[in-house]
Amino acid sequence: MTAQVALITGASSGIGAEAARKLKAKGYTVYGVARRTHRLAALTGDGIRTFAMDVTDDDSITSGVKRVVEEAGRIDVLVNNAGYGTLGSVEETPLDDGRRLFEVNVFGAMRLTQLVLPHMREQRSGRIINISSVGGKIYSPLSAYYNGSKHALEAMSDCLRFELAQFGIQVAVVEPGGTKTEWSEIAVAHVEKNSGQGPYARQAHAMARGLASEGQRQRFVPAAAVADTIVEAATARKPRTRYTVGANTKAAITLRRLLSDRAFDAMIARTSGVPRT
């Protein structure tokens, strides 16, 4: 039987790199791609096929999909993992920064999905796994662009699930909470840069302290735990539509469903330490 083929974006570190290794261990032919190719060398040493791909560059992703199909003959699993967070108030965050975030987190994932789907339809099978976030189900201050991008990815994944079921293609969403990756350090830098000096400085400093605190980091889940969930979504005979990762993530999503908006506002203010007034 021909090995299943997986294409994983954002594979240079963290969740993407761990998922690539774990799917390789399951017998998949794995392509791990990222913009930062110098950080893919370790994956190459593990027998994972790597090359540069920028999900915001149409030529890059078009040639990348063509390369995988020419070399491996098929694509069975697409893991849309590439993404990042820009934090800061809506008022102060440059609109171009917000556009760039959506280009990576949403439009890059959707364009790559567009390119992969004709091959999956032809083989009458395939799996799209979109890496969302707890931020795709809840909200928090100074996170409008990031959470907005993940809310969009969630909704578009639901639409895709309906559209693609007729072709035997399944769609799953993975929703991690805080994860032990570079994300929090990058987020702290963004929130301080965008809102650390102006009228939202009190909120920005509180959020930065919370993200950087040791107590918060201890509640983060390892990247390997998220990767295990991706493997489950890729290999299950009938994958769930959504996978949450981490006890705190499940609790937050449940509370969002149960609480009124104002009650949830109060909870977020209390647990995050970010004041509303």
Rounded CA separation 89/194 (Å): 7
136, two tokens: 């795709």
Question: Of 28, 146, 200, 243, which is the active-site residue?
Answer: 146
CA angle 83, 85, 22 (to 5 degrees): 40
For residue 152, the SS3 value is: helix
Q: Helices (DSSP H) in 106-239: which residue ranges?
A: 109-123, 144-164, 183-195, 201-212, 214-219, 223-235
Between CA 40 and CA 43 the distance in angstroms is 5
Known catalytic membership, residue 146: yes
How far is 41 from 43, CA to CA, in rounded Å? Answer: 5
Q: For residues 127 and 209, what is the distance between their CA atoms, to the nearest angstrom? A: 39
The answer to whether 115 and 136 are in contact (CB under 8 A) is no
Cα–Cα distance for residue pair 181/12, rounded to 1 Å: 12
Residue 106 DSSP label: I
The set of catalytic residues is 146
